[in-house]
Amino acid sequence: MTERRRDPLTGEWRMFARHRQDRTFLPPEDHCPLCPTRPGGPPTEIPLADFDVVVFENRFPSLVAEPPSPDVAGSELYPVTPSVGANEVVVYSADHTLGLADMDAARVARLVAVWADRYAELGGRDEVAYVFIFENRGVAVGVTLHHPHGQIYAYPEIPPRPRLELDVAAAHLVRHGTCVVCDVVGRERADDVRVVARNRSFLAFVPFAARFPYEVHLVSQRHAASLLDLTDPERLALAELLQAVVAGYDHLFGFPLPYVMSMHQAPTDDGQHQAISHLHLELTPLHRSADRLKFLAGSELGAGAFVNDTAPEDTAGQLRAAMARAGIFTGAAG
C-alpha cells in the first residue's frame, strides 16, 4: 500500500506507505547502511569504498516516480491518488560521525551544490510541484539512522505549509508591493536583538514569533527564490552560516541538539512564484532547556496554536553566548 489520500476536513493530502513500518531502525554502527561498503564487509546502500556526497532513492519511500495503483477506490469526498514524486536520501559524507558542524566549509558548500542540483533535476520533472530539502537530526526527532544525512521529498503539489507561506506572501505583495521575507530581513537587521549570526549574504535569527524556543531562520539577505539564484560565493556564505548555527546548537547544552531543518524555496510547478518565494532554512530544535523538550500537544496538534515558553530575544542571546564561548565567528552584535 503506497498511496495518497486527501483529508475531507482540511483538504490536506496525506501519504500512506505501509511498507515503511519495516524500515531499518537504529542499526549498530557496523551495520550502518549509509557507510561505504567495506572490502569483505556486508553490502551497504552505497557500493563505493569512499565518497564525498551521495544521493540515492529512499528504500522505504512514501513518494516514487512510478507508484503502484492505490489500494482503495477514491471518490469526490475521499480523493485518492498514486504516490507520485520522489524521496531521496542525501548522505553528507563517508564518515559515520562527521556532522555538518565538523566538516570543512568547502565540503558543506559541495553539499549546497548537490542540493541545488537535486532541486533543479527533481523540480524539472513534470509530476513534481515542490522540492523539499530537509534534515532530521537526533533520536528525539525520530531519526532511525545516525550517519549524518538529509532527505529530499519531491511532492506532486505544493504542501500545506509552503502553500500558506506563499498565500501570505502574495497578500503582502499586493498590499505593500514588497516581499514579506525581505521586509523581515530588514526588520531583523534593524532590531538586531534576535540575530544569532550573519555574514555578507545570509542572516540567522530567532524569529519574532518562533514556534520553538531555539528555532533559527537562516535567510538570504537579498531576494533569491531558490538555491539556483545564488552565486557561488553566496552558496559558500550559506554553507558557512549553516555550519556556524549548527555548531552553536552543539555548544548550547554540550550535546548535539536534535533538530529538524526545513528549506523553503520556490515551487517548481508552472506557477509564477519568483516574487513571493524567498529562500530560507528553518531550524527547529525540540529542546526548551537542556533537559526538557517542547512537545506538540493539544494546542499545537488540535488547534494549530503554538505556545512558546521562552522569549525569542532571550534564546537568541543564549545562542550567541554559546557561539562566543566556542569561538565561533558570528558577526552578530546582539
Catalytic residue list: 149
Stretch that binds a second copy, among 49-57, 101-109, 249-257, 311-319 (CB under 8 A): 311-319
Grid coordinates of 297 = 500537544
Among the listed residues 1, 48, 49, 290, the single contact to a second copy using CB under 8 A: 1
Site for a second copy in 49-88 (CB under 8 A): 62, 71-72, 75, 77-78
DSSP 276: G
Among the listed residues 51, 56, 255, 306, the single contact to a second copy using CB under 8 A: 306
For 166-184, b/e burial (b = at least 16 CB within 10 A) is beebeebeeeeeebbbbeb
Smallest distance, Å, CB 101 to a second copy? 19
Question: Which CB atom, from 107 or from 172, has the smaller least distance to a second copy?
Answer: 172
Smallest distance, Å, CB 199 to a second copy? 22
DSSP 211: S
Site for a second copy in 18-37 (CB under 8 A): 18, 20-21, 25
Site for a second copy in 259-298 (CB under 8 A): 260-264, 282, 284, 288-289, 292-298
Q: How many residues bind a second copy (CB under 8 A)?
A: 85
- Asked if 108 contacts 244 with a C-beta cutoff of 8 angstroms, the reply is no
**Interatomic CA distance for residues 240 and 204, integer angstroms:** 11
Site for a second copy in 165-184 (CB under 8 A): 165, 168-169, 172, 180-181, 183-184
Smallest distance, Å, CB 280 to a second copy? 8
Among the listed residues 32, 105, 113, 141, the single contact to a second copy using CB under 8 A: 141
- Asked if 217 contacts 205 with a C-beta cutoff of 8 angstroms, the reply is yes
Smallest distance, Å, CB 47 to a second copy? 27
**Interatomic CA distance for residues 150 and 80, integer angstroms:** 28
Site for a second copy in 111-130 (CB under 8 A): 130
DSSP 123: H
Question: Which CB atom, from 18 or from 38, has the smaller least distance to a second copy?
Answer: 18
Closest CA to 2 of 64, 57, 87, 88: 64
- Asked if 4 contacts 81 with a C-beta cutoff of 8 angstroms, the reply is yes
Grid coordinates of 24 = 531499518
Measured in degrees and rounded to the nearest 5, phi and psi for residue 242 equal: -60, -45
**Interatomic CA distance for residues 260 and 211, integer angstroms:** 13
Should residue 161 be labelled a site residue for a second copy when binding is judged by CB under 8 A? yes
